[in-house]
Chains A and B, each alone.
Chain A
Amino acid sequence: MIYDVVVIGSGAGGGTLASQLANSGANVLVLEGGPHVNTRTDFNTHALPFEFQSRHIPTMRPGKPGYDGERSRGLGGKTMLWNAVALRFSQRDFKGRQHDGVGEDWPIDYADMAPYYDRIEREVGVCGNYDHLEDLPDGIFLPPVPMKCSDIAIQKGAAEMGVKVIHVRKATLTRAQATRPACHFCGNCMAGCDVVAKYNSYDVQMAPALHSGKLTLRHNSIVYELAVNDEARVREVRYFDRETRAEGAVEGRVVVVACGCAQSVALLLMSKSSQFPTGLANSSGQLGKNFIPHITAGFELFLDDFVGKPSENDEGFLDHAYIPSFMHNQQRDYARSFGVQFGYHNHRAVGWAREIKGMGKAYKEAVKARYPAYMTFSPYQEMLPNDDSYIDLDYEHLDEYGLPRARRHWKLSEMDMKLHNDMKRRCQDILEASGAQIHSVSQEPSTNHEIGGCRMGADPRNSILDSTCRAHDVPNLYVVDASVFPSSSEKNPTLTIMALASRTADFIAERLQKKEV
């Protein structure tokens, strides 16, 4: 059978698009490289470290196959284990080049995305406060969760620097919706939410869409090649079974790649042919280039206000507050900006106790006194694309299936480092004003949130996809994950991945209807 749409990957992008298209009447097949995961019974959401000999809480319950680290291969992809921060990008984020003269603009505007942000927020439920900020658009919000006492200490310190602290915005329910209960604040969101108060693409979107009878999920199917025909259309999606290694192939009128940034790029790079000798849809030579992950720094600190106080049950749903970008409109010697996530630590982990000085009774007392005061604080910055930051394939180190690994290269320019250093200095100022003893500061920048490598753009000579996320070179091929972002913003990417996938789903539905595929 030929499916209308074959979607590779079941995370935020693939899950959103597949369920929407199935609900609109298209015959959709989702190929997921990992196993089926039962959110309610497979995770260790409520485990404590001493229940395990190694004192390390494993992701999955005993005997359950789960995610393999590099790819988050498993039903729902990274949405199962994410922290659910759901921020809209602003017009500045889509038009960074217009704003500060460097980097790349998106081929679309905030106005193009706004209705899709609306749609996603209504569909999945996002809590937040209406803050009326010019650079962080409000959405359609469920009630926010009160800030933690520790957040208020930071809010007060930040206010002295003229910096605003707002309620975090998360795709976690604060009111029951459809079949999902409100969050019960057990504090272990990133171990997998067993009640689905936190959004994941399977329980919230794909499982309901199965009722349409139009959605087929095929687990444990690792796609390794997209084969094209003479008309430069994807003819066949080739995969093998993760367990038996049996090979298979399916056909779709439309093929959507949504494997999660580096893995989507890797699949296209692996799909070489005589027409596309350097990788599928790569006539521009840009595939894998413009890799722009978020760059982070990390602080650990103890808030004076809470040292020596009794321990309280303040876990909540990890971080309850956020510091939105405040540098984008100020005089500075760099482009772009940063935002700060903080207080997202889990009180089950006390790794910092290792570094407290001393031994004996005094040591024990020092750890106990600091326990209620401990906080994590991580600014996230946007980096600009450069020639030294890209994704390629490592044929020297094949994975367990004999496939080349996706290799990430990144290098910060002088301008990126200026931003990084200013970001750390300003964070330090905020922390000091908040009455914090800084316990540790990251020495080197690190990455989080993989973004770029398969960017969209108006010009086929320097981008892979058009403004609908369709490949310039291959008329029935689409990509919907963060690899398509031409610029990263400093804001968390997932809500934008979902809104963009929903927008692309609309284009595909229309093209299927008009038989334009």
Chain B
Amino acid sequence: MASYSSDRRNVLKLFGAISATCTFPFAGEELYGQTAHEHQMIVPQATNRFFNETDYRTVARIADLIIPPTETPGAIQAGVPEYIDLVVSRDAAHQSLVADGLRWLDSQAKEMGSDRFIDMETRGQLEILEPLCETADAGTSQARNVQFFGLIKRLTADGYYTSKVGLIDELGYKGNTARSSYPECVHEH
């Protein structure tokens, strides 16, 4: 027997299923409940960042290694670091996870002969991050450093694929147009 009683958040999500875009996780979920009534369109401006300069650069570097520039721009050019800064600035649990994670990265860097993660060559940085990514993807570890990487990857994916660069240039989103009729499928199946 499965038994459920709806709390307020579940109720909101339930109605999200009826009224929002789909029943599956959507980008922006990290800010769920905090931005439901936020009606501000983006205004380009010099914002006060939550992260200090070094942490910001480190987070940006990780994001750009997760989604690097190829024929299309990578995470930094897509504004992902700004998005991560915003999300983390609004969540105390994220803040402590990121602080621990960044400390751990620098400790790894020291073991490999660098002062800080941000000073390392790409190769060294990937040597630290790639095994972490594999463990995070497996979803079985509760270790802080793994959870930290999982968070940054999630926020990078959300931030990148909801950016103009990610959605339009990289994925080739073509919707949101007006057409007079819907075409019949002409593919062979």
- Name A's B-contacting residues (CB within 8 A): 46, 48-64, 67, 69-70, 72, 78, 81-83, 145-149, 151-153, 156, 184-188, 190-191, 296, 298, 300, 305, 310-313, 315-316, 320, 344-354, 356-361, 363-364, 367-368, 371, 376, 378, 388, 397, 405, 407-414, 417, 440, 444-449
Chain B residues contacting A378 (CB-CB under 8 Å) are: 23
Interface string of B80-113 (1 = CB under 8 A from A): 0001001000000000000000000000000000
Q: How far is the CA of A101 from the CA of B23 in the complex (A)?
A: 33
Known: A55-B83, A63-B39, A187-B176. A407 touches B22 (CB 8 A): no
Q: Could you give 15 example pairs across A and B, Cβ below 8 Å?
A: A56-B27, A58-B38, A60-B39, A184-B178, A190-B20, A347-B173, A349-B27, A350-B171, A351-B26, A352-B24, A359-B66, A361-B68, A364-B67, A410-B4, A448-B17
Interface 9-mer from B51-59, B140-148, B150-158? B150-158
Q: Which of B21, B42, B153 contacts A349 (CB 8 A)?
A: B21
List 10 additional A-B contacts (Cβ < 8 Å) besides A58-B36, A152-B185.
Answer: A48-B176, A54-B38, A70-B12, A151-B185, A156-B189, A354-B158, A364-B68, A378-B23, A414-B1, A448-B23
Nearest-CB distance from A382 to chain B (Å)? 16
Q: How far is the CA of A58 from the CA of B39 in the complex (A)?
A: 7
Of all A-B residue pairs in the complex, the 4 with the closest CB atoms, nearest first, are A56-B28, A311-B172, A81-B19, A313-B174
Chain B residues contacting A371 (CB-CB under 8 Å) are: 171-172
Say yes or no: B86 contacts A53, CB within 8 Å.
yes
Interface centre among B27, B34, B65, by most A CB within 10 Å? B27
Known: A190-B20, A315-B175, A360-B66. A54 touches B28 (CB 8 A): yes
Q: Which of B4, B157, B175 contacts A411 (CB 8 A)?
A: B4
Q: Which of B2, B133, B183 contacts A417 (CB 8 A)?
A: B2
Say yes or no: B175 contacts A347, CB within 8 Å.
yes
Cross-chain pair count, CB within 8 angstroms: 255
Nearest-CB distance from B170 to chain A (Å)? 6
Say yes or no: A146 contacts B184, CB within 8 Å.
yes
Q: How far is the CA of A358 from the CA of B134 in the complex (A)?
A: 7
Interface centre among B16, B163, B164, B175, by most A CB within 10 Å? B175
Task: Determine whether B48 belongs to the interface, using a CB cutoff of 8 Å to chain A.
Answer: no
Q: Which of A63, A185, A188 contacts B182 (CB 8 A)?
A: A185
Q: How far is the CA of A410 from the CA of B178 in the complex (A)?
A: 42
Q: How far is the CA of A368 from the CA of B22 in the complex (A)?
A: 20
Q: How far is the CA of A191 from the CA of B175 in the complex (A)?
A: 14
Say yes or no: A359 contacts B65, CB within 8 Å.
yes
Task: Determine whether B115 belongs to the interface, using a CB cutoff of 8 Å to chain A.
Answer: no
Q: Which of B2, B17, B42 contacts A52 (CB 8 A)?
A: B42
Say yes or no: A62 contacts B40, CB within 8 Å.
yes
Say yes or no: B5 contacts A311, CB within 8 Å.
no
Q: How far is the CA of A364 from the CA of B18 in the complex (A)?
A: 31
Say yes or no: B28 contacts A412, CB within 8 Å.
no
Say yes or no: B183 contacts A146, CB within 8 Å.
yes
Say yes or no: B185 contacts A354, CB within 8 Å.
no
Chain B residues contacting A53 (CB-CB under 8 Å) are: 38, 40, 42, 86
Task: Determine whether B130 belongs to the interface, using a CB cutoff of 8 Å to chain A.
Answer: yes
Q: How far is the CA of A52 from the CA of B41 in the complex (A)?
A: 5
Q: Which of B25, B129, B167, B187 contacts A354 (CB 8 A)?
A: B25
Say yes or no: A55 contacts B158, CB within 8 Å.
yes
Known: A311-B173, A313-B177. A69 touches B12 (CB 8 A): yes
Say yes or no: A351 contacts B27, CB within 8 Å.
yes
Nearest-CB distance from A325 to chain B (Å)? 20
Q: Which of B3, B42, B68, B154 contacts A388 (CB 8 A)?
A: B3
Say yes or no: A69 contacts B16, CB within 8 Å.
yes
Q: Which of B162, B178, B182, B184 contacts A55 (CB 8 A)?
A: B162
Say yes or no: B86 contacts A364, CB within 8 Å.
no
Chain B residues contacting A345 (CB-CB under 8 Å) are: 21-22, 24
Nearest-CB distance from B24 to chain A (Å)? 6
Chain A residues contacting B171 (CB-CB under 8 Å) are: 311, 350, 367-368, 371
Nearest-neighbor residue (CB-CB) of B150 within chain A = A354
